[in-house]
Structure 1
Amino acid sequence: MNTKITSFLLVLVSSFTLLAFSSGNPQQKEKPQEKNKEKTTPAKDSKEAKETKEIKDNKDKTKSATTPKTDTVAVKEIPVVKETDTLQIDPNSKLKVYKKNAHASYYHHKFNGRRTASGKRFDNNKYTAAHKKLPFGTLVKVTNEANGKSVIVEITDRGPFSKVRDIDLTKRAFMDIASNKNSGVVIVKIEVVEAPK
């Protein structure tokens, strides 16, 4: 019985030994391959990284060359406001003083797009005004008495509905003559433009 067990154990050990020598140690075989991978991979990766970076740089260069910058496009599209954007009158026209030391204010932006008393749509970027008595379509020169700046506006609406104020200008017209852009009222001289005969 002991001999059978012994011979069985010997056969078993010898078969394991043969198996180990024929196939080799799997851990030992994988390590050299891993070492080779470690040696080649960084160099390969750095080469691929350089190529990828070069391709990306070339794309960026061509993109910047063909696509205009949005800043430039936006600046070109913004209309430039000039001094001549105010209403123009005939040089032969006469000015008749309507009122001095008048109080001028400006419309709130909430009125933008609403119909005025004359039927025209209100636009805070145009040169129009509201007056209690002057007929619609009358051209009026409004001069800031403190700094001498003036604008020509057309009466298109009724108002202002305050005893203290005499004329309501569009915000654009008001800002053109105001010394202090934060103020809401300016003391002005109102002159009616009379067409030449």
Structure 2
Amino acid sequence: MNHFFYIVVVTLLLSACGGQQTTRPAPPSPPAEQPDNSTGQPPTKAPSTPPAEVDTPGGYYMDDGPEANPPSNLDDIPDATPKEEPINPAAMRPYQALGETYVPMKSYAPFKQAGIASWYGKRFHGRKTSNGETYNMYAMTAAHPTLPLPSYVKVTNPKNGRTVIVRVNDRGPFKHSRIIDLSYAAAYKLRILDRGSAHVEIEAVNAASYAAQNKNATPVPKPVETTANPANSSSETVQNITTPFFVQVGAFKLEANANALRQKIQNLGIASSKDINHVYNSQLYRLKLGPYPSRSKASQIAADIKQRLNINSIIHTQ
């Protein structure tokens, strides 16, 4: 009896071990990956047939995203103005990124594309772009894998009809079939910041054609009425008719300071938002008012600013 009981126990133990060796537990569900503002959605394995493109809410990549106190006037930032520029030779060479090979365009040509756009912000603000320039998240720029650097594209958000023109001066994006990475400002104007990504349509802008089409759209200052003062010479009158004047009220290293002054000028009624230009060049944020049809009108504005804000302004013609 004891011998029989021993054989039964041994048999059961061997069967249990064999079951452990051959039984494969179900694989655990993969951990959810945090989406980012550059990709817009969690990465997924590519199926045999490409899925329909969708835009889903996204988060921020690592410590990227908006600054703590972004400017309040992002809608007033003008679109990039297309102009003819030579292509950067270094940006024409084929390159690899994340295991993929990209062959940039070596000349300007008609180009249209539809797909998912993402954006990048403070993590890259102040860093060098692929074109050797400094990335400014508040400028109207973008990154594209193959378009010439620099070049210009019109980006449309078909969901709301909003359109911007951006200057392509960087490479990317390289993940999840994104077709373009927009600057923070461009993404804001298209209203895709909160989602992190969105379906867009892009079209290359021919600089020469753009200049011709917008030639007549440039506002021309109204002629200044002549006064009864005989001291006004005819040459001065001609200059007042043809030359617009601007009043530069400040140049700041920090954009927040420029925005604060802009708000003061608007609150005081010295100039409306459409007459205040926010220009970024030479690493300074310059606040300019205008254009004004005459130097005398610009001088009046400058005097008003001096009296009410105790700021000395500069009058110039560009």
1:193 aligns with 2:199: no
Q: State whether residues 104 and 188 of structure 1, in contact with CA within 8 Å, keep that contact through their aligned partners in structure 2.
A: yes
Aligned with 1:99 (options 106, 113, 135): 113
* TM-fit CA distance, 1:140: 0.5
Q: For residues 41-120 of structure 1, what are the structure 2 equivalents within 5 Å?
A: 80-81=73-74, 83=76, 85-89=78-82, 96-100=110-114, 102-120=115-133
Q: For residues 124-163 of structure 1, what are the structure 2 equivalents within 5 Å?
A: 124-163=137-176
| Aligned twin of 1:171 | 184
Alpha-carbon displacement from aligned partner over 1:99-121 (angstroms, at most 9, x marks no partner): 12x11110131111111111001
**Cα 1:134–1:164 shift into 2, 3 Å:** same
Q: State whether residues 74 and 188 of structure 2, in contact with CA within 8 Å, keep that contact through their aligned partners in structure 1.
A: no
CA distance, structure 1, for counterparts of residue 175 and residue 82 of structure 2 = 29
Alpha-carbon displacement from aligned partner over 1:76-97 (angstroms, at most 9, x marks no partner): xx8855546122348xxxx945
SS at match of 2:188: helix
* TM-fit CA distance, 1:181: 3.9
Structure 1: 4+ residue segments shifted above 4 A? 78-84
User: Percent of pairs identical after alignment?
Assistant: 35
CA distance, structure 1, for counterparts of residue 72 and residue 195 of structure 2 = 26
CA distance, structure 1, for counterparts of residue 116 and residue 74 of structure 2 = 26
**Cα 1:121–1:188 shift into 2, 3 Å:** same
Q: AA paired with 1:85? A: P
SS at match of 1:160: coil
CA distance, structure 1, for counterparts of residue 75 and residue 199 of structure 2 = 24
* TM-fit CA distance, 1:137: 1.2
SS at match of 1:166: strand
Highest CA radius of gyration, 1 or 2?
1
CA distance, structure 1, for counterparts of residue 155 and residue 183 of structure 2 = 12
Aligned residues: 114
Greater helix share, 1 or 2? Answer: 1
CA distance, structure 2, for counterparts of residue 122 and residue 150 of structure 1 = 21
**Cα 1:79–1:106 shift into 2, 3 Å:** closer
Q: Which runs of 5+ in 1 are unaligned?
A: 1-77
CA distance, structure 1, for counterparts of residue 128 and residue 183 of structure 2 = 14
Q: State whether residues 97 and 189 of structure 1, in contact with CA within 8 Å, keep that contact through their aligned partners in structure 2.
A: no
**Cα 1:106–1:157 shift into 2, 3 Å:** same
Q: AA paired with 1:88? A: T
SS at match of 2:147: coil
Structure ranking higher on relative contact order (CA contacts 8 Å, 6+ apart): 1
So what's the TM-score if we normalise by structure 2? Answer: 0.33
Alpha-carbon displacement from aligned partner over 1:47-93 (angstroms, at most 9, x marks no partner): xxxxxxxxxxxxxxxxxxxxxxxxxxxxxxx8855546122348xxx
| Aligned twin of 2:99 | none
Q: AA paired with 1:138? A: S
Q: Which runs of 5+ in 2 are unaligned?
A: 1-70, 84-108, 210-318
| Aligned twin of 2:296 | none
So what's the TM-score if we normalise by structure 1? Answer: 0.52
Q: AA paired with 2:81? A: Q
Alpha-carbon displacement from aligned partner over 1:145-194 (angstroms, at most 9, x marks no partner): 1111011111111110113211000011001012x541000110000001
CA distance, structure 2, for counterparts of residue 125 and residue 119 of structure 1 = 17
